[in-house]
Structure 1
């Protein structure tokens, strides 16, 4: 997917570096030229390809995440590609450490984390969730540290320039001039945005700048870049629909309260569900039965089965990575070879695919905003979704997309389908 620019008339390919798998899939779904999600940052990239690369940096220490970003950025910057760092729209993860390394060697950095379709906007440099400033919400309830009061605070850069909405909406010529003037001061530039049109304007303006100007954003900015290249076409990977529907295994690794209602919708439609306790996953036998045995029992012969983590007791957020790994091991140990997967929560999705030795996903389409249908190289269908996305019928729709017609790309989402990212 080449982007035209004054310094490279033939256009520069785009490379997206994501910090977790569900975010990587979200970006891949809205970029027309993306044909591969790479789970191995060192995997070869084809000439003029538009890959989305999951660095899996969210689970690292800040220093470890920074090293991953530095290596990936250096590797792809020398190719002349435009670089986008996919970050969390709520500024979670190692935002400052990763952005600092990503900006090294760039001629400028433009930051636009808004996702209007999910109620994530930026006004006066402050992220707002459905109009409420981020630091007045509960969105960071499971995060270490204090909630940043602004994007500049999350960056750790007091010299950050904020381009307010009136400049973003002043027209292409004016916005381009404002960006160039702000970038000339050598500090990051944060762009306010409350609508997709605002992000379209930012994307257009940045693409008129040299390719050495780098971008940090979430799914909203990525979608704006994708819209510049036209609609996303169906991208089903090669494969034939089976004679009968394959079993679907749903793995819910999120602690988001909405997951309970989503699982309830599935069980009402006949899915078999088992909630594995955190105690048994972190120390087998805590609930009287090994989690792998519980997983095997619920999967056996079920057309649709759901495995989740019991929320009966509070769990220290620092244990979340270990829980995700333990859940993934239990699933991989008993997963039928012909089963397709629905995976919620970026950490859980990545750990399950790691256990299955999956290093590449082929994007197919979207079920709804953020719920992305992919296929593995060996033909297994996988739908991923960030933990807090979607309404009560989200999991039902994700499973339905796999069982109605396995050989057809899923329809693109309505703009109203949203959720946090």
Structure 2
């Protein structure tokens, strides 16, 4: 019988959200929490937790996932170990540690590894990841940020000590009975994982339908693609409910681009080119220096004034080809501190880069996000939970296109808003 509740463990905030939103779109109450906040305070049938482990060494990332698994996973709940669709971070170490913890708890389950997310151009062929048909190793994403020697999933799992078998496209497309038989054979053989090719949404849909019947014996590892397929395959799945009513409008929307990925930079440039938002570019040196930086006060005050005046406002970390990606967390914390006066007055938040969004929301006393719907693939909309209640949209840095931010802001303005509370005279 399919699980009634789900736990999603992710290595960053945007990944947690774009998996959980798939279930919210199908009528399940879903929320996102994070390691630095009170993740246990969120409620609903689906809980996604950002372990904030993308930049951690393998052993630390693995330990963090095991701790969250032990604290939040319950027998009978479906489990998704969300991994980056381009294999950033420590997916193999996290998956191996999750697998070992399940076995130690008497749950010897098979991992169904399916990182493909066809709606965003991520596919898997012959056990190797591709982006828009190009081998992952040949892309700028891989050149800038990669953990493994290649994108061969079999080799990556073998190095982590996991015995796996490839389920090629022919198997996924052979029909329900044949695919389900292949999964049962892997279980009977005692394999740790199966690696699943997928080039289309239909491939993941077939995999979800065949594997849901094995709930309790399998768990899933992948990106938003497999989460969407599983949510759609649930027997009571429905289409998205009617448009939500958002909290009363306050100031302008704060658009934060903390990612250096080309897709996010192009979307920010398009937003500025169409004069749809005031634009502030923050030097990395300013964020490293903190309030002692000579331009800190002027930038923080200017951004807050723009937001408070009702103007949508774009804030981005200035592009730096020589930037050290290991400094990402420190820069995100610095940016959150700079933006805190503005964020307290914002009418909404659009954030690319999970570290930045998580750092900013945590500083504002937010411990989670209640998810509502998906404005486009990989861009979920939710309402913050905690000391501040505002609409928030998150996007993984490499997702989307140059019109993503513009379209998302237009969609946000199209939702009905609750009336502002009356002011006593």
TM-score between both structures, scaled by the size of structure 1? 0.87
Q: In the superposition, relative to structure 1, how do residues 339 and 116 fare at CA in structure 2: closer, same or farther (>3 Å)?
A: same
2:168 pairs, out of 153, 164, 174, with 164
Residue 14 of structure 1 corresponds to which residue in structure 2?
6
Q: In the superposition, relative to structure 1, how do residues 167 and 215 fare at CA in structure 2: closer, same or farther (>3 Å)?
A: same
Count of aligned residue pairs for this structure pair: 396
1:38 pairs, out of 16, 33, 47, with 33
How far, CA to CA, are the matches of 1:207 and 1:231 in structure 2?
17
Contact 2:38 2:367 in 1 (8 A): no
| SS at 2:142 equivalent | coil
| SS at 1:43 equivalent | helix
Q: Deviations over 1:379-415 (max 9, x none)?
A: 211111111222111111222233333539xxxxxxx
1:396 pairs, out of 375, 384, 406, with 406
Q: In the superposition, relative to structure 1, how do residues 232 and 349 fare at CA in structure 2: closer, same or farther (>3 Å)?
A: farther
2:214 aligned with 1:209, yes or no? yes
Deviation at 1:164, TM superposition (A): 0.9
Residue 108 of structure 1 corresponds to which residue in structure 2?
110
Alignment gaps of 5+ in structure 2: 419-425
How far, CA to CA, are the matches of 1:263 and 1:355 in structure 2?
24
Structure 1 residues 3-402: aligned runs within 5 Å: 4-5=1-2, 11-31=3-23, 32=26, 33-39=28-34, 40=37, 43=40, 49-104=45-100, 105=103, 106-143=108-145, 145-155=147-157, 156=159, 157=161, 159-183=163-187, 184-229=189-234, 230-234=237-241, 240-242=247-249, 246-267=251-272, 268-284=274-290, 288-290=294-296, 292-300=297-305, 301=309, 303-312=311-320, 314-377=322-385, 378-402=388-412
Alignment gaps of 5+ in structure 1: 6-10, 409-421
Contact 1:295 1:307 in 2 (8 A): no
Q: Deviations over 1:309-341 (max 9, x none)?
A: 111552111112211111111111443435321
Contact 2:88 2:147 in 1 (8 A): no
Please, which moves more after superposition, 89-98 or 56-65?
A: 56-65
Greater helix share, structure number: 2
How far, CA to CA, are the matches of 2:172 and 2:398 in structure 1?
29
How far, CA to CA, are the matches of 2:324 and 2:292 in structure 1?
17
Q: Deviations over 1:268-327 (max 9, x none)?
A: 23411110101111124897412x431321331351111111115521111122111111
Deviation at 1:216, TM superposition (A): 0.4
